[in-house]
Amino acid sequence: MTRHYLTPKNPETADTIVIGYDRPLRTFFAQVYKDREDDEPTFLLMTGYQTGQHPYAYTIIDLVSQYAYTPEDLYAALDDDRICAPFRTIQEVNAITHWPEHGLAEPVPAT
């Protein structure tokens, strides 16, 4: 599954926002959480873990937009993840991308 790490709007509320596309489940997913030193992270949002739950990129972007900056290029990147998933290698399908507040980020090679 692809993973796009977004820049938090308020790191005091949530410090990790991840969205992406899960090819086997055919859905977009999102995780928004605040790391805690003493325990498991506090999840503010976890969705997209049922087959076909979020078939459109814009719905997952809307869900995380209160927590993270969502650059204009993000929608196209997510839609590309969905459309091209059947034709990509495992490394490409499992790509990790870190998005700054504005603009497009470069993917990090999967290990």
Q: What is the pLDDT of residues 37-72, one digit of tens each?
A: 777 889 999 999 999 999 999 999 999 999 999 998
**pLDDT for res 92:** 86
Query: pLDDT of 75-99, one tens digit each?
Result: 999 999 999 988 988 888 888 898 8
Chain-centroid distance of CA 65 in Å reads 11
For the stretch 4-25, pLDDT in tens is 999 999 989 999 999 999 999 9
Closest to 51 (Cα-Cα) out of 25, 86, 87: 25
pLDDT at 103: 63
What was the pLDDT predicted at 70?
A: 94
**CA-to-CA distance for 73 and 20, rounded, in angstroms?**
14
